[in-house]
Amino acid sequence: MGCGRVGSSLAIELEAAGHSVAVIDQSKEAFRRLGADFKGRTVTGVGFDRDTLLEAGIEGAEAFAAVSNGDNSNILAARVARESFGVTNVVARIYDPGRAEIYQRLGIPTVATVIWATDQILRRIAPGGARSEWRDATGTVQLVEVHPHLDWYGRPISELEGASQSRVAFLTRLGEALIPEAHTVLQDGDLVHMTIRDEMLATAEAVLAQGPVNR
What's the pLDDT score for residue 171? Answer: 93
Q: Among residues 36, 93, 38, which one has the least CA distance to residue 64? A: 93
Answer with the one of 97, 116, 135 that is the final residue of a domain.
116
CATH number at residue 161: 3.30.70.1450
Q: H helices within 80-200, ranges in order?
A: 97-105, 113-125, 157-164
Residue-by-residue pLDDT tens, the chain, 215 positions? 999 999 999 999 999 999 999 999 999 999 999 999 999 999 999 999 999 999 999 999 999 999 999 989 999 999 999 999 999 889 898 888 777 777 766 667 777 776 666 666 655 655 555 666 777 767 789 898 888 888 999 999 999 999 999 999 999 888 788 999 989 999 988 889 999 998 888 888 888 888 887 64
DSSP letters along 19-66, please? ---EEEES-GGGGGGG-TT--SEEEES-TT-HHHHHHHTGGG-SEEEE
Angstrom distance (rounded) from CA 21 to CA 57: 9
Answer with the one of 70, 94, 116 that is the final residue of a domain.
116
What's the pLDDT score for residue 126? Answer: 55
What's the pLDDT score for residue 147? Answer: 81
Angstrom distance (rounded) from CA 51 to CA 72: 19
**Could you tell me if 47 and 76 lie in one domain?**
yes
Q: Which residues constitute the domain of residue 154?
A: 127-210
What's the pLDDT score for residue 77? Answer: 94
Number of structural domains in the chain: 2
What's the pLDDT score for residue 105? Answer: 67
Rg (CA), the chain: 21
**Is residue 12, in this structure, part of any structural domain at all?**
yes
